[in-house]
Structure 1
Amino acid sequence: MSTGTPERLGPFLVLERLGAGGMGTVYLAQSPGGRRVAVKTLPADQATESGARERFRREFEAARRISGFWIARRERRP
């Protein structure tokens, strides 16, 4: 993994950095159940900016309405 890439994001094991843009960084990660998923993070310098947080929240809400095998969902732990 490249320098600056976290080992974990929440319960997800980060495998590699896929890319970055104005709205954050996307990582290929593995869920606790073994599924490969994309995890997007908001840049730290934007975390306190209400406009950036609101855009990220809207993106998150839009993504929640999408379903399918390749969509990351929170997995229930035993």
Structure 2
Amino acid sequence: MARISASNAENLVKSFKTELVYGIKLKSKEEMRVFIFEYIEVWYKRQRRLSALENRAIKEFWNLYMKNEELIKSIA
């Protein structure tokens, strides 16, 4: 499992509370589990900028990669 710093964990929790929890009434633990999973897997991981990807979000990096691949194929 990847290690995260305390500040990264705090930022995740702050974002999670601000964007998901406040204002939503959940009826069960299962509903909360689904909300947490969707937030982390669907939104947070796709929007977060990663230094390994030149400070781009995964979707941005992938789109740039695909454009470069198309350019290379069109040249060859």
- TMscore range, shorter length: under 0.3
TM-score, length of structure 1 as denominator length: 0.27
The structure number with the bigger radius of gyration is 2
Structure with the higher fraction of residues in helix conformation = 2
Structure with the higher fraction of residues in strand conformation = 1
TM-score, length of structure 2 as denominator length: 0.28
* Structure with bigger RCO (C-alpha 8 Å, 6+ apart): 1
